[in-house]
Structure 1
Amino acid sequence: MTQPTTAPPAKSGFQMPSLSTLGPLIALLLACIFFATQSDRFLTGNTLSLVLKQISYVAVLAIGQTLIILTAGIDLSCGVIMALGSMVMTKLAVEQGVPAVLAILLGLALTTVIGGLNGVLITRLRLPPFIATLGMYGIVFATTQIYSNAQTINNLPPALNFLGNTFNVLGVPFTFGAVLMVLLFALAWFFLGSTATGRHVYALGNNPEAVRLSGIFTDRLLIGVYATAGLFYGIAALILVGRVGAGDPNAGQTENLESITAAVLGGTSLFGGRGNVLGTLLGAIIVGVFRVGLTLAGVNSVYQVLITGILIILAVATDQFSRRKS
């Protein structure tokens, strides 16, 4: 006679948040407290507006980067894909006479296709993501320079400048690009946490073989992740164009590292399968707070790079410690 199974003990209703969850928030609070003591201009609405304006396009890049890192991948080409997308949008609209909305759609389509091509190289040719996207970095950067003749595109139509326009909330100016950034983070958060495909992305980073054996087409899923990331790069390009008011062929050369920094500082594990896109937003804000705070404190900009490097090492070390502990 079989013995009745005993139900496992119920877990406590309260569980301490993990280090990867608490870490970004604690770091942000400490940074704000420190810079508030260094400058009486830091804790103002205008400073918040400036931080959001500066991080808006990098943060949207970081959404796509987070999706990829969750699958245990990496994308070194995201910044230059953004730059190419911005050049296509602006050059088509200004020099070719294409309607601005159509030029934007064509730019978004191009960045999505290039992102998907990264996924194809990784899944079909079995190239490591680092190598595939590093090669794509060189290809896209050169293509951008050739296509633009290394010339900046100015005199943009209003539709391309729209996301750089501002509106006031209690006397504080905010850009429409910053609003779009927040909405995209909310959409990505919902997608990852409340849809089956979002859960598959996490599972793919944790155990790709188990995902494959469960009947999910892992190659198709991975290509979809890279293509979706490419779409986010295109939206980041549009935000960038609105911010600077021009198409710059030299943009995006370091933003790949900045997007990785935001994701890692936000608690996304470089080993895949663990992370939260809202943490990525916190990570991007942390970088922006340090930049603005150090500038207000009169500190040389080179220290921004130094402190960012230290924060990355601490974030990865915390992730390693958390993994070993679990």
Structure 2
Amino acid sequence: MTAATAAQSAQSAQSGERATLGEFFLRAPAVGPALALVVAVAVFSIATDTFLNLDNLSLVVQQSLVVGTLALGQTLIILTAGIDLSNAAAMVLGTLLMAKLLAGGVTGIFALLLGIIATALLSTVTGALVTRIKLPPFIVTLGMLTMLTATAKLVAGGQGVRIDDGLLTWLGTRRYLFGGIPVTYGMTLALLMFVGMWYALTKTAWGKHVYAVGNAPESARLSGIKVNRTVLSVYVVAGVIFGIAAWQALGRVPNADPNAYQLGNLDSITAVVLGGTSLFGGRGSVLGTMLGALVVAVLRSGLTQLGVDALYQDVATGALVIAAVVVDRLARRQR
């Protein structure tokens, strides 16, 4: 074998190795956020004395619940190459509707159900505008964000509404596993939701249709998939999830505040992007989203314990999002 032939063989082997590695990350987009989470936990565990405390770890998970639940619904929409800028505003409006209904004499269970139905209807309207009138999701949800934010303030009259119902605050109830690990019912519900959505996306025809529509809508249509119906169903399911996020929020803080979670929409997008879901649709996983939400919570908690100003925390989070989008773009080019 000549030196040139040997060099070409070595180059081919190296290219094959890079391709194999690239394919691995394309097939398993959750690997990146998992590694980022492990690195972040390790760094903050070394840098602080309190990060690995069980109470602190439980608090980190609790802080990720609302954004993580919003991000679960956001994941479905982004998988279809859409986006929802109004999810947090719909959630806040849901908390206020639940609180107002409760104050008006409605029982907790009906207040909860009506709040979830309201967020589902709002997302249904958004989905109808996107699928029937063919409006861009960004523009539709931007308009919905403005309207829902104003509506929430009108409903609340500019003031928060205190919640004292046991059911509406039940998700914040804390229990201790094995005598010392603090766990809330909200954590359990979030885990069940992520597992359920993972199953729906990976084991059902509906889930395969969602990925197909996000990856190539015209090809999906030609293969017999009802594209508009699939996208509309995604918005409806996401709306139900946003209503459950409102329940999670009341479990965290028993007060419906019209000014709460003003950056919740961006935080949910951050979690989705960091979790490896492509903003161009058709690629991603709910496992990655869960890890992305935890990465954001760990980053904020660790930096707070290190005394880093909240503005610098936002800078670091924004840089992570840009890096994640760049990685996704490069991965799609390689594919």
Relative to the length of structure 2, the TM-score reads: 0.90
1:8-48 residue CA offsets vs partner (Å, 9 max, x unmatched) = xxxxxxx7530633211111111111111110211221121
Per the alignment, residue 25 of structure 2 pairs with 18
CA contact (8 A) 2:271 2:292 kept: yes
5+ residue gaps in structure 1? 1-14
Name 1:119's counterpart in structure 2.
127
1:82 aligns with 2:91: yes
Alpha-carbon distance, 1:156 to partner: 2.0
Preserved CA contact (<8 Å) 2:174 2:183: yes
The 5-angstrom pairing of residues 165-244 of structure 1 reads 165-169=173-177, 170-244=179-253
Change (3 A) 1:147 1:34: same
The Cα offsets for residues 41-75 of structure 1, whole Å up to 9 and x where unpaired, read as 11221121011110101100000000000000000
Aligned residues of 1:57 and 1:240 also touching (Cα < 8 A): yes
What count of residue pairs does the alignment treat as equivalent? 311
- One-letter code aligned to 1:251: A
| Pairing partner for 2:138 from 130, 134, 158 | 130
The one of 34, 47, 70 equivalent to 2:43 is: 34
8 Å CA contact 2:131, 2:228 repeated in 1 = yes
User: Aligned partner of 2:170: which letter?
Assistant: F
The amino acid of 2:281's aligned partner reads G
Q: Which amino acid aligns with 2:138?
A: F
Amino acid of the structure 2 residue aligned with 1:52: V
Consecutive unaligned residues in structure 2, runs of 5 or more: 1-19
> 3-state DSSP class of the match of 2:175?
strand
Aligned to 1:45: 54
Describe the SS at the equivalent of 1:299.
Answer: coil
Deviations 1:222-259 (A, max 9, x none): 11101111110000000101110111111232100000
Show the counterpart of 1:315. Answer: 324
Give the SS at the match of 2:167. Answer: helix
Q: TM-score, normalised by structure 1?
A: 0.93
Kindly report structure 1 stretches of 4+ aligned residues shifted beyond 6 Å. Answer: none
Q: Which amino acid aligns with 1:285?
A: L
Partner residue, 1:6: none
Measured in 2, the distance between the counterparts of 1:302 and 1:141 equals: 23
What SS does structure 1 have at the residue aligned with 2:191? helix
CA contact (8 A) 1:68 1:229 kept: yes
- How many angstroms apart in 2 are the aligned matches of 1:226 and 1:155? 28
Map of 1:306 onto structure 2: 315
Aligned to 1:93: 102
Share of identical aligned residues, percent? Answer: 48
* Superposed counterparts of 1:271-282, under 5 Å: 271-282=280-291
* Farther off after superposition, 295-304 or 108-117: 295-304
Aligned AA for 2:167? A
For the 8 Å contact 2:163–2:256, the answer to whether it is kept is no
CA contact (8 A) 1:57 1:181 kept: no
Q: Is the 8 A contact 1:27 1:286 kept in 2?
A: yes
Change in 2 beyond 3 A, CA 1:295/1:101: same
